[in-house]
């Protein structure tokens, strides 16, 4: 019989957690990685925030009411959840289990609070922090968007400092100073994770019997 610890270890073998401050480019890197590997799926988070632009429910996020999110929290439906910029975000346990049943690797684009919770629950998962070259570059990127008010930009910069201070909690750091180079770095980490999965399979010959 598989214990809860064994199950968490097996699930973690197929989880790559990517996080980083707003403006660091993590979502772009995640999208590029997904485009190049069919066996990888994005873990779609639940959130209480409203859709932005062309975002679609069930594709970009599962958009739910605060009441629905609270109900899911109460029945322990989330593997992780966090309050970010005034809105709740969370990863459903069913999402992780469903991906495992389909033989998919899961890529997570989440806040560092969620990353910390996932690593605690699934220690064998790999975690990556996407970092800007420096805070000045990050500020320029945020202002270049021309979508946020000054107070929002300042709040995001403070949040970025807090996130980057957590860098020792991550297995890898990818500095996004060049998009193509950063993409290749993230893909190299994924390939290394895949090789680890193969080594684990080969060390258990009974799965081939």
In a domain, 209, yes or no: no
The tens digit of pLDDT for each residue in 128-141 reads 999 999 999 988 98
**What span, in angstroms and rounded, lies between the C-alpha atoms of 163 and 22?**
10
User: Does 191 fall in a domain?
Assistant: yes
Token pair of 13 as six digits: 């073998």
Mean pLDDT of 150-164: 89
H helices of the chain, where? Answer: 4-12, 26-36, 66-74, 93-101, 112-121, 135-145, 150-164, 179-202
**Domain presence at residue 19:** yes
What average pLDDT does this structure show over 70-99? 94
What pLDDT, on the 0 to 100 scale, is given for residue 148? Answer: 81
Residue range 110-115: average pLDDT?
87
Mean pLDDT, rounded, for 161-173 = 90
Show the tokens assigned to 113: 């609070």
Q: How many domains does the chain contain in total?
A: 1
Look at residue 154 and tell me if it is in a domain.
yes
User: Average of pLDDT values for 147-172?
Assistant: 88
98 occurs within a structural domain: no
**Does 59 fall in a domain?**
no
Q: Is the pLDDT of residue 206 over 50?
A: no
Assign 29 a pLDDT band (cuts: 50, 70, 90).
Answer: very high
Helix 179-202 × helix 26-36 angle, to 10°: 50
| Overall average pLDDT of the 134-157 stretch | 87
pLDDT tier at 208, thresholds 50, 70, 90? very low
What tens digit of pLDDT does each residue of 39-76 get?
A: 889 999 999 999 988 999 999 999 999 999 999 999 99
In a domain, residue 141? The reply is yes
**How confident is the prediction for the chain on average, in pLDDT?**
87
Model confidence, pTM = 0.82
- Whether 51 is covered by a domain: the verdict is no
Q: What is the CATH number for 135?
A: 3.40.50.300
The bridge status of strand 15-19 relative to strand 105-109 is: parallel
User: Which structural domain range is residue 35 located in?
Assistant: 4-43+104-202
């Amino acid at each position: 019989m598989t214990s809860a610890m064994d199950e968490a270890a097996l699930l973690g073998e197929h989880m790559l957690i990517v996080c980083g401050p707003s403006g660091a480019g993590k979502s772009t890197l995640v999208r590029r990685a997904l485009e190049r590997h069919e066996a990888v799926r994005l873990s779609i988070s639940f959130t209480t925030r409203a859709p932005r632009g062309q975002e679609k429910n069930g594709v970009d996020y599962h958009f739910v009411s605060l009441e629905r999110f609270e109900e899911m929290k109460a029945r322990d439906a989330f593997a992780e959840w966090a309050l970010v910029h005034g809105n709740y975000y969370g990863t459903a346990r069913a999402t992780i289990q469903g991906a495992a049943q389909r033989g998919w690797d899961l890529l997570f684009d989440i806040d560092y609070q969620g990353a910390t919770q996932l690593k605690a629950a699934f220690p064998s998962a790999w975690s990556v922090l996407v970092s800007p070259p420096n805070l000045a570059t990050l500020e320029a990127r945020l202002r270049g968007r021309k979508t946020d008010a000054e107070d929002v930009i300042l709040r995001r910069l403070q949040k970025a400092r807090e996130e980057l201070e957590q860098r020792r909690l991550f297995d890898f750091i990818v500095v996004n100073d060049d998009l193509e180079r950063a993409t290749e770095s993230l893909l190299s980490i994924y390939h290394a994770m895949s090789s680890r999965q193969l080594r684990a399979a080969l060390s258990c010959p009974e799965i081939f019997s």
